[in-house]
Structure 1
Amino acid sequence: MENVFKNKYLYMMSLPFVVWVFVFQYIPIWGWTMAFQNFKPGRSFFEQQWVGFDHFATLFGDERFYLVLRNTLAMSFMGLVVGFTFPILFAVLLNELKNGLFKRFAQTVSYLPHFVSWVVVAGIVTKMLAVDGTFNQLLLSVGLIEQPVQWMAKGEYFWGIVTASDLWKELGWNSIIYLAAISGIDPELYEAARVDGAGRIRQIWHITLPGIRTTVTVLLIMSIGHLISIGFEKQFLLGNPLVQDYAMVLDLYALNYGLGMGRYSFGTAIGMFNSVVSVILLFAANGLFKRLTKESIM
């Protein structure tokens, strides 16, 4: 209690954020009750018809659900591998730059796409990958293809397009926290390594990467927890009827086959499944890393 009074101003500063989390993250959980009802707008809570797990039975009995789950897991895993490793590599490379002006320029340029909306990004990507777009013209000019490819009309390319687009947009922004972690490493460690004859590669391997291991572990655990909660903006904006079987993800499935068709309870069941699986993945990843690396977020 003495510690609470000693840091009372810090607790007061954090209070608005605690209230925000409670109001927008915990109170809405009450809406999960809709998943067990045949919800009808305009009726009070006590007038709703309770149907138990009927909507979950419908969900797990729908063949399209497993197709959607496949797409979600595939794009999530690709995004986790590519979107997690490349920012680390980019941060390490930026840290190795000795020209301060060029380093700041590279950081600024890499951050800018983060502030561009997905509507604009989707338009740019669609234009570049069009039959007469820049990408086809480039491949034709170097002889890698003999005729233009319809990239946006072939489902087998869709996952890669989404992953690459997300990487371009978020690479610089996601590297910020790693750059901050690297800046906290004691410079004397690098000086001692140079005295011992270690080159840049050995310094990166034995000092930089171990120095940010805790940050990497925590962010990896959180990323695994959000493995199937990837949203739907990228898939909605980049998708089209020709690649629908590859673009449909859980959130988009809930939007189209739940809210879009007035099946509010069914949509809630999909969202509830998404949240429960995310929590399970988070605890599983945290437990695994706690056992293997002694690092944990709980």
Structure 2
Amino acid sequence: MSRINKRFLSSWQMYIFLLPSIVFIIIFAYFPMAGVQIAFKEYDFTKGVWGSEWIGWDNFQRFFNSYQFSKIIWNTLSLSFYSLLIGFPLPILFALVLNSFTGHRFKKLVQSVSYMPHFISTVVIVGMLVQIFNPRTGAFGSLYTMLTDKIMPDILANQDAFQHLYVWSGIWQSIGWSSIIYIAALSSVDEHLHEAAQIDGASRLQRVRHIDFPSILPTATIMLILAAGNIMDVGFEKVFLMQNNLNLAKSEVISTYVYKVGLTIGTGDFSFATAIGLFNSVINFILLIGVNFAAKRLSDTSLW
């Protein structure tokens, strides 16, 4: 009997528990992949997925030659890299600062307060932004009028302000929740290392730099690899809700464009929308493989 069969027989109950998850993934993740072929066809409702005419790469060429292509790709990448550049290191810094607090109650209070915004829905977050930055009735609008006796310009209609509002409101909402995994990693650091460093005269900042930060570096590397695999996936809901005709030049990203060409233009061009979505997924996959390979070469920490 092979080693695999022995392992299966010795813990077959665990594989039974695993079976529902495997079936779920196959049905809802892998089986729908058959629909990807729509990207290479001119989809017709009357003929179905399998009976529609095969047109090859026409949908992809149509997207690449579109006047929207460069603008959408640039908006998506700039918004993603902006979010990654600001949103990735801040939770790490927040976790390091929070871990350095000695007051247990104060630390718990800060943690609880920082977690709360994560549970606010995207619709409510955008509604808060509208209420705060409304030029006439919003908090900033009222303060601006009181100080200058003028009506504040509409920030939500300013295309140059869109990315800043999107990114920093997202950081406020997620910084506490994103720091949980780093706080958990810091909790496993051996206290004897800190005691030995204190005996040697190390300051708190030196202990953070030479003990705490190296301990969470493997976790941060894994999180960076996962984030790199989602570079092209800018959240649809928040962008779509913040979008208007005046900031459309900077707020139109791949996810909102796919929604519009697939569902809101006439009967919907499902083949074209699927082709764009497939292109988006392929780029994310390439980025994931590339960043994972680089991380493995540089730090010996990787997903596989």
TM, length-normalised to structure 1: 0.94
Give the match's secondary structure for 1:39. Answer: strand
CA gap 1:86/1:146 in 2 versus in 1, 3 angstroms: farther
Query: Separation in 2 of the partners of 1:203 and 1:7?
Result: 44
1:119 to 109, 117, 123: 123
The Cα shift of 1:221 comes to 0.5
Query: Could you tell me which residue of structure 1 aligns to residue 65 of structure 2?
Result: 61
The equivalent of 1:196 in structure 2 is 200
Q: CA deviation at 1:17?
A: 2.4
Contact kept? 2:193, 2:211, Cα under 8 Å: yes
Q: Establish whether residue 255 from structure 1 lines up as the match of residue 263 from structure 2.
A: no
Instruction: Name the structure 1 match of 2:54.
Output: 50
Q: Could you say which residue in structure 1 is the equivalent of 2:271? A: 265
Question: What does the per-residue CA deviation read over 1:173-195, in whole Å, with 9 as the maximum and x for residues that have no partner?
Answer: 11111111111111111111111
Give the alignment partner of residue 91 of structure 2, picking from 61, 64, 87: 87
1:138, distance to aligned residue in structure 2 (A): 5.0
Q: In the TM superposition, what are the counterparts of 1:84-233 in structure 2 within 5 Å?
A: 84-132=88-136, 133-137=138-142, 148-233=152-237
Contact 2:126–2:242 (CA under 8 A) maintained in structure 1? yes
1:67 positional shift: 0.5
* Structure 1 pair 14–230 and aligned structure 2 pair: CA distance change class (3 A): farther
2:17 corresponds to which residue? Answer: 13
CA deviations on 1:35-89 (whole Å, 9 max, x unpaired) are 0111012323442111111100100000112111111001100111111111111
* Partners of 2:38 and 2:49 within 8 A in 1: no
1:245-268 Cα shifts (integer Å, max 9, x gaps): 111110110000223221000000
Report the 3-state secondary structure (helix = DSSP H, G, I; strand = E; otherwise coil) of the residue aligned with 1:63: coil
Aligned mate of 2:280, from 274, 277, 291: 274
Quick one: structure 1 residues 146 and 10, their matched pair in 2 at CA, closer, same or farther if it must change by over 3 Å? farther
Query: Which amino acid is the alignment partner of residue 165 of structure 2?
Result: I
Secondary structure at the aligned position of 1:241 is classed as coil
Letter of the 1:13 partner, please give it. F
User: Of 271, 286, 294, which aligns to 1:288?
Assistant: 294
Deviation, structure 1 residue 292 = 1.0
What residue is the counterpart of 2:77 in the other structure?
A: 73
Task: For 1:147 and 1:134, locate their aligned partners in 2 and report how far apart those are by CA, in whole Å.
Answer: 12
d(CA) in 2 for partners of 1:195, 1:248: 56
Distance 1:140 1:86 in 2: 33
13-22 or 285-294: bigger deviation: 13-22
Paired letter, 1:134: A
Is the CA contact 2:295–2:302 (under 8 Å) kept in the aligned structure 1?
yes
CA RMSD of superposed structures (Å): 1.9
Task: Give 1:139 shift.
Answer: 6.1
Call closer, same or farther: CA 1:258–1:176 in 2, change over 3 Å.
same
The number of aligned residues is 297
Q: Which consecutive residues of structure 2, in runs of 5 or more, have no partner in the other structure?
A: none
Inter-CA distance 189–4: structure 2 relative to 1 (3 Å threshold): farther
**2 CA distance for matches of 1:135 and 1:99?**
35
Shift of 1:219: 0.4
CA separation of 1:46/1:77 partners in 2, compared to 1, >3 Å: closer, same or farther? closer
Query: In structure 2, what is the Cα distance between the partners aligned to 1:213 and 1:128?
Result: 37
| 1:228-243 → structure 2 map (5 Å cutoff) | 228-243=232-247
Structure 1 residues 131-185: Cα deviation after superposition (integer angstroms, max 9, x where no partner): 1322345567788x98623211110110011001111111111111111111111
